[in-house]
Structure 1
C-alpha cells in the first residue's frame, strides 16, 4: 500500500513580486526553480483548502479523456474574488521568471495524476493537491501533497498513490511553445537569427513557403525525422508527459558565425514508444559543409528561456572566435560548438540533470539514417533527406 504520512506544518511562503521579464536575469536557475516551486506549493495548499468551492467545476471538466483544467477555466465563475486574483498573480509571476510573458497569457493548470484515479474521485473520495519538488528527481525523498483540510502528506516518489491526486503544474506544451518563441526572439535580438521549426502542419507549410520565396523558388534541401524513440530511466509519477525539443547547431554558410535553430517536438510525450512525425528538422541552406549536430533537450522547471538563448549564442560565438580559419577543420568545428554548449548548459540554465537527453553529432546532408542511436543511446531516430520543389504556378 502506498504510504501516506500526515504531518502538521506551518508554511511560511512569500510570493515573489510581479516583475518584468528583463528584471529576473539576476536569479540563478536554482533560484528560479525554488521560486516556482514555492509558488506552486502555496497554490496547492490554497486549492486544497478551497476544494469545496471548485469541486463541481473540476468534476464537470475532468474525465478519463481529459485530465487537466486550466487555471482560468477553474476560476472563471468568480473572476474578481481575492482568491482568483491571487492565483492569476501567481501565474504572472511564474511566466515572468521563465521569460515567456510576451508569448503566452497563461501557464498554470491542475492535472489529475493518473486516469486510474478518476472513478474513485468522482465517486466521492477526497483528493490531495501536490506539486513537483525542485531539483533533480533522483534526489527527491518524497512528494508533498495537501489534503482538503490543509494538512501535509508525504507520498512515494515512484509508486502511484492509491488516492486521487491533483498536481499543480505548468501546461508543459504551452510553456515549451512559448519558451522556444522567447528563445528565437532573444537570439534574433542578439544578431543570431534562429529558425524555429514547429510541428503544426500549417506552420511547417508556411515556413517552407517562406524559405522557397527567399531562395528565388529554388528547391529546398531538408532532412526529416521519419521515426524517433526515446528511452530513459523510470520517471516519477508526478512528472507527467515529457516535453522535448531539439537544438540544431552548425556554421553559417556565408559567414564565420554559428547557426543555431530550434525544433519543437510536442509529440514526444513518453519514453519507449515509437513516434512517426515526418517532421522537417534541418534546412540545409542554413548550414555550411552540409553538416549539423542535433541536441535533444527536455524542458526544465527552472529554465529562463531568454537566458538559455543568450548562453547558446555566447558559447557558440566564443568557440568560433578561437578557430582562426574554420575551413581548415571544416565540419569538425561543429562538434566543438556542440560540445561546449552541452558542457555549459547544466550549470548555466538548468536544474534537473535529466534535461539533456542526448546528442547526434555530424548529421550529413543527403544522407539517410535508419534506427540511428544517439551518442549516449537515449534516443534512436530514422532520418531521411527530402528535397522540396517549389509549387508550380
Structure 2
C-alpha cells in the first residue's frame, strides 16, 4: 500500500507537461465540468469538513477522463501532490474549474488552523492503491478526506457521481483511493511559529543573556572545556513511539514537542521542537537532535510534552491557552513541574476524537543520560548531555 509522503513539486511539473489533453465531448459534459468546483461551498469551519468538501468535488471532477489521467500521472509516484498547484496548472476543464475553489479552501484551512494567510497551499492529494489483486487494475477510483480519528473504524469516500461509500479502515482496499489532506509538515512548522510569537509577546521565551551562557560551568572549574564559551544541552540520541496517534491509511504523523521549565527571569517558558522525522509507529529513529538548551533555564529541571497534529489543530487557540495558564504560575524558588499545567491548557477539542497527546517526560536534568520511558508508556527516548562550544 502506498501512503502519503512529503510533497515533490518536480513530479507535478513532469505530470503536467507529459499529460495528453483530450477534448471534451459535448456541451453537456463541458457544463458538468465547469460546475465541479462549486461543490466546495466553503461553509465547513473545521479542517476535516473542508477536506471532505474538497474530496467530494475532486471525485466529481474525475468524470473528465483527461483530468482523471493527469491526476493519476501526478500521484502515481506515491508522493502527495500540491492540489492547488495541480489545478492552477492544468488545461483540462474539470481541473480548471477546481482551481479557484481549491485556493479558497486552502485559505479556509489556514484560518481553521490559526495560521497566517501567507502560509501558502496546504491541501494535497495522494493515491493509495490496493494490493495486487485480480479485477482491481481498472476499478474506478474513489476520493476521500484522509481520516483523522485514530480509533475510527470507517471513513467516507466519493465516486465521480458524488455518491458516498463507507470504507473500513481495517480492511484492504478493493480499488484505488485518493486521499485529500493537508501538508502536515508545513502546518506544524508554521503553527509552532505562531505559538512562538505568542509566547514571545508575553515574555515566555526570553533567552538567557549572553553573559550568563555557561557561566556556572566556567565558575565551577578551571578546565579548558568548562572555560570555553558555549551551551549545555540535552541531546536525543534515539527515540521510539509505540503509537503515533495517526490512522495507518493516512500515512505519516506530524510530531512536535513542547519543552517547559522556568526561564532565567523566573517566568515559565516553553520551547518548541519540530520532529519531522518521527512519523512512523514502532520505529526507532536516531536524530541526534537538541531537545533542551539549558542556558535558557533557571533550574536544572525541564519537562517535555510530545504532541501530534491530527489536522484540526488550531495553533492560535493552543498558543492562547498555553499563555493564559502559564501567566498564572509564579516562581516559588523551587522547581515546579509544568507539564501538567501545559496539558491542562490544551484546548478541550484536542481530546475529542483526535488524540493529539503522544507522551510526556518529567524532570529531565542537565545530567540525564540513557533511556527514559514516557509517563504515558507510549514511547521512550535515549538522551545524553551535550556541550555545544562556540566556534
User: Contact 1:194 / 1:262 at 8 angstroms: preserved in 2?
Assistant: no
Q: Aligned-pair distance for 1:300?
A: 2.9
Paired with 1:44 and 1:119, the residues of 2 have a C-alpha distance of 27
Cα distance 1:114–1:181, how it changes in 2: closer, same or farther (>3 A)?
farther
The residue aligned with 2:297 is 287
Paired with 1:14 and 1:147, the residues of 2 have a C-alpha distance of 18
The residue aligned with 1:312 is 322
The residue aligned with 1:360 is 361
Residue 168 (1) aligns with residue 180 (2): yes
| Map 1:173-252 → 2, pairs under 5 A | 173-193=185-205, 215=213, 218-232=229-243, 236-252=247-263
Residue 272 (1) aligns with residue 298 (2): no
1:291-347 CA deviation, whole Å, 9 max, x = no partner? Answer: 100001011322210121121122122132xxxx621xx22x1x2x21122123151
User: Contact 2:239 / 2:381 at 8 angstroms: preserved in 1?
Assistant: yes
* Unmatched 5+ stretches in structure 2: 1-37, 215-227
User: Contact 2:233 / 2:293 at 8 angstroms: preserved in 1?
Assistant: yes
| Map 1:334-349 → 2, pairs under 5 A | 335=337, 337-347=338-348
Paired with 2:209 and 2:184, the residues of 1 have a C-alpha distance of 29
User: Contact 1:315 / 1:340 at 8 angstroms: preserved in 2?
Assistant: yes
Q: Taking CA–CA contacts closer than 8 Å with sequence separation of 6 or more, which of the two structures ends up with the larger relative contact order?
A: 1
Q: Aligned-pair distance for 1:40?
A: 1.5
User: Contact 1:15 / 1:38 at 8 angstroms: preserved in 2?
Assistant: no
Q: 1:15 aligns with which of 42, 46, 58?
A: 42
Q: 2:90 aligns with which of 62, 77, 86?
A: 77
Asked which structure has the greater CA Rg, the reply is: 2
Report the number of matched residues.
336
The residue aligned with 2:113 is 98
TM-score, length basis structure 2: 0.77
Paired with 2:245 and 2:313, the residues of 1 have a C-alpha distance of 22
The residue aligned with 2:50 is 39
Paired with 1:268 and 1:380, the residues of 2 have a C-alpha distance of 12
Q: Secondary structure at the match of 1:271?
A: coil
Paired with 1:385 and 1:118, the residues of 2 have a C-alpha distance of 52
Q: Aligned-pair distance for 1:175?
A: 1.2
Cα distance 1:103–1:120, how it changes in 2: closer, same or farther (>3 A)?
farther
Paired with 1:220 and 1:118, the residues of 2 have a C-alpha distance of 57
Q: Secondary structure at the match of 1:74?
A: helix
TM-score, length basis structure 1: 0.77
Q: CA RMSD in A?
A: 3.1
Moved more, 180-189 or 161-170: 180-189
Cα distance 1:130–1:365, how it changes in 2: closer, same or farther (>3 A)?
same
Q: Aligned-pair distance for 1:69?
A: 0.8
Moved more, 339-348 or 244-253: 339-348
1:76-122 CA deviation, whole Å, 9 max, x = no partner? Answer: 1249944210111011111111121345211000012358479987x
Paired with 1:340 and 1:250, the residues of 2 have a C-alpha distance of 11
Q: Aligned-pair distance for 1:186?
A: 2.2
The residue aligned with 1:3 is none
User: Contact 2:107 / 2:117 at 8 angstroms: preserved in 1?
Assistant: no
Paired with 1:112 and 1:211, the residues of 2 have a C-alpha distance of 50
User: Contact 2:59 / 2:142 at 8 angstroms: preserved in 1?
Assistant: yes
Q: Aligned-pair distance for 1:259?
A: 1.2
Residue 55 (1) aligns with residue 82 (2): no
Q: Aligned-pair distance for 1:14?
A: 4.0
Q: 1:107 aligns with which of 122, 131, 136?
A: 122
Residue 326 (1) aligns with residue 340 (2): no
Paired with 1:313 and 1:144, the residues of 2 have a C-alpha distance of 37
The residue aligned with 2:6 is none
Paired with 2:70 and 2:130, the residues of 1 have a C-alpha distance of 18
Q: Aligned-pair distance for 1:37?
A: 2.1
Residue 89 (1) aligns with residue 104 (2): yes
The residue aligned with 1:156 is 168
Paired with 1:240 and 1:232, the residues of 2 have a C-alpha distance of 13
Paired with 2:133 and 2:61, the residues of 1 have a C-alpha distance of 20
The residue aligned with 1:19 is none
